[in-house]
Amino acid sequence: MAKAIPLTKPARPRFLKARAGWPEMLPTLAWLVALIVVPLVYILRMSFSADPFALTATGWSLANYADSIPFYWDNLLNSVLIGLSATILAFAIAMPVAYGISFYGGRWKAVLLFAFFAPFLPRYLIRIVAWQTLLGANGPLFGPLQQIAGLEVRVLGTPFAVVAGLTYQLVPFVLLPLHAAFNRIDRTLCAAADDLYSGRCGGRGAAIGAVGGLAIGLLLAAVFFDRGGIFATWPIAFVLAAAGLGAAVGGTMTERFALIVFPLSRNGFIAAAVLSFIPALGDYVNAALLGDIRTQMLGNVIQAKFLVELDYAGAAALSATLLVAAMLLLTLLLRLIRGTELLDVV
């Protein structure tokens, strides 16, 4: 009697499927442990050291957190506000460029990308020094005003200079992931969307854009203006202008972008947010060269404690605090970007 031959292979147990990929993952896991996990564990252990000036952790104490966090709270707030502002502005600059090159660049995509990235070829420090010259009172932007009208404009040493320089440094980290994500979108879906709903988002988009613009305007007003006078005339006008701009952008945004392009490129937005926000939050060079004592970020304090004060445990405690703040804010930011699934929206 002939045996029946099954047409499908029997399903493998779940634990065997999980173990099948381990040999390929071992090199990656080894690098992650050696370069990320071990340094983080060392920093966390140092943050609880009883001797703040010893390179090797000795004993256990919470005094490093109790003595550092309340005293440097303003620096942590500067890091969060300036980092968020620079990340949002980098998205505002890089997203239209990435979208235009990906969808309308044609055979000139490589040339356009190179033309955009050519200014970023010089070293990081050289670019910051160039911003010092550009924003100086006698620089090419404000020098003519002083020579012609006798009006002296001082931008260096203000939060605007720090955010401008940091935004410029973050643009490539936003552009590349977005460009790659836009390139992977099936163009036939965009063509179908043009046939089904090619109009503007209209009133609903304008309302959502106004709320987003209001939130961004409040954030930028808190950075650029004195926080105690955020409800003065100029900050209020700034916030209202941001809300109006957000409403205009949201109302004129196409449904194809809102319902097709953005959901399908969501992973690119997430990658861009991670690659830009983490460096922005821990940056200290822009604040040191373009700002003053009022714009010092927590990274400046950590650098001074490590290299000047030799307070290793205090620096480790501030580093751990900055890491926790970054993880919490990044989780919130990614949650906002993640949104809903494509089928739920449509």
Q: What is the pLDDT along the chain (346 residues), one digit of tens a residue?
A: 455 555 555 555 555 555 556 777 788 888 888 888 888 888 888 888 887 787 777 788 888 888 777 888 888 888 889 999 999 999 999 999 999 998 888 888 888 888 888 888 888 888 888 888 888 777 777 777 777 776 777 788 888 889 999 999 999 999 999 999 999 888 888 888 777 766 777 788 888 888 888 888 888 888 887 665 555 666 788 788 888 888 888 888 878 888 888 888 888 888 898 888 888 888 888 888 888 888 888 888 888 888 888 888 888 888 888 888 888 877 877 777 665 443 333 3
Angle between helices 73-104 and 266-282 (to 10 degrees): 140
Whole-angstrom distance, CA of residue 293 vs CA of residue 308:
16
Q: Six-digit token pair at 284?
A: 């200290």
Q: Six-digit token pair at 313?
A: 């445990």
Res 341: pLDDT = 40
Query: For the chain, which domains are there?
Result: 73-193+256-346 (1.10.3720.10), 200-253 (no CATH)
Angle between helices 202-224 and 159-183 (to 10 degrees): 140
Cα 258 from chain centroid?
21
Res 118: pLDDT = 84
Q: Six-digit token pair at 148?
A: 């012609």
Tokens 């690659």 label which residue?
275
Q: What is the pLDDT of residues 143-195, one digit of tens each?
A: 777 777 767 777 888 888 899 999 999 999 999 999 999 998 888 888 887 77
Separation in Å, CA 226 to CA 160, 222, 234, 293 = 12, 7, 11, 14
Q: List 200's β-bridge partners, or say none.
A: 254
Whole-angstrom distance, CA of residue 184 vs CA of residue 126:
34
Whole-angstrom distance, CA of residue 330 vs CA of residue 324:
10
Q: List 254's β-bridge partners, or say none.
A: 200
Q: What is the pLDDT of residues 30-63, one digit of tens each?
A: 888 888 888 888 888 888 888 778 777 778 888 8
Sign of the CA dihedral running 82, 182, 210, 345: negative
